Amino acid sequence: MPDSASFTWNTTEYTITVGELGQESTIEATRIIRKLTGAQFVDILTEEVDLIAETVLPYQNQLFVEATDPDGAGPDPPALPAGITWQQFARYRGHTLTYAQNQQAVIARMRWSTMYVVDPTYPEAAAEKYALPSSIEYVARTRMSKLYRTGWSVTPPPASDASADIGGTAIAGGFQGTDQPVGQVAIRMRFMQDASAVPMDTAAQNLTDYMGTINSVAFAGCAAGSLICEGVSVAKTGTMEYYEVTFEFLFDRWYHHEQVPTFAEDGNPKLNASLGPAEVKWKRLPRTSVNFNDIYATNVQLQTITENGWWA
């Protein structure tokens, strides 16, 4: 039984609960604590601070592997026990203290937890990789665009912000244009992050570089030039060390282009002899082109879990 300056204790029970990806995994332990002088009782109201100071109880958010080496005799950080996996990320969340044996002993029930799991997509023969939850959501919608011609011979260009004249047939009253719905898909990606590994302010500074940009290569099943990043948010989740990074992307069937007629000096479209627009081009706002796959930092497993689910 380990001893401190004032207490002796014995850990009598461990309970481990392994959660699914997106759920907590927990370690619970029961510890019997007594005073070194048997005639004295542990006052849980006034001596809890001493129990923590003398490493009888872990301090809040202490790693589980640190709590198993309370006297610091081992390496710093402590060497991981053979076979340990997700437990190395578990942090101390708190305890309950209860009197026993006529107050001659205290029962401490302690709890560690983590959101890390062994990556279920990683090859079994390889060394373990660890994953935090990530997900993707899709919402289909439309936007309204002015249509000046139909049957165009030049399609919206994915890699260019403007095209040549699109050809085709002017619609009736084509100098005014008519409303046309264009298919879009709003895509939201969520990534849980660990503030003890990457601070929130660092993530915010790095990830905002994607805002307002367009994808230079295919991403999440969407062709190059079809996605823009509308925003990135970084927000705390709960009371633990985790936070969530959320990307808002927008897919557009026409690669975010509009039909734009060439205008005359009076502000109206230039007309041809048939009173249709003399020239119509595909145009979109210029944007910086970025490889959105860099979000995954070459982590193929993270990309698989996010875009396809762990069962893919």
Residues 304 and 156 in one domain: yes
Query: Which tens digit of pLDDT belongs to each residue from 186-232?
Result: 999 999 999 988 889 888 888 888 999 999 999 999 999 999 999 99
Residues 91 and 230 in one domain: no
> How many structural domains compose the chain?
2
Residues 188 and 109 in one domain: no
Query: Which tens digit of pLDDT belongs to each residue from 253-294?
Result: 999 999 999 988 888 888 887 778 889 999 999 999 999 999
Structural domain includes residue 272: yes
Residues 140 and 289 in one domain: yes
Structural domain includes residue 196: yes
Residues 108 and 160 in one domain: no
Residues 148 and 285 in one domain: yes
Residues 141 and 100 in one domain: no
Residues 33 and 170 in one domain: no
Structural domain includes residue 123: no
On whether the CB atoms of residues 281 and 211 are closer than 8 A, the answer is no
Q: Give the residue among 15, 93, 104 at the shortest CA–CA distance from 57.
A: 93
Element spanning 233, H or E? strand 227-236
Domain end (from 51, 86, 118) = 118
Q: Measuring CA to CA, how many Å separate 243 from each of 48, 90, 133, 191, 193?
A: 30, 16, 11, 8, 5
- Rounded Cα distance, 58 and 219, in Å: 45
Residues 60 and 191 in one domain: no
Q: Give the residue among 130, 31, 70, 120 at the shortest CA–CA distance from 310.
A: 120
Q: Measuring CA to CA, how many Å separate 160 from each of 148, 155, 165, 256?
A: 20, 11, 14, 11
- Residue 86: give the domain boundaries: 7-118
Angle at 199 between CA 126 and CA 20, to 5 degrees: 45
Residues 14 and 72 in one domain: yes
Query: Which tens digit of pLDDT belongs to each residue from 126-185?
Result: 566 888 999 999 999 999 999 999 999 999 999 999 999 999 998 876 678 899 999 999
- Rounded Cα distance, 85 and 201, in Å: 28
**Structure tokens, 95:** 């305890």
Structural domain includes residue 128: no
Share of the chain above pLDDT 90, in %: 60
Residues 209 and 242 in one domain: yes
Residues 179 and 56 in one domain: no
CB neighbours of 155 closer than 8 A, spacing ≥ 6? 282
Domain end (from 93, 118, 143) = 118
- Rounded Cα distance, 97 and 1, in Å: 19
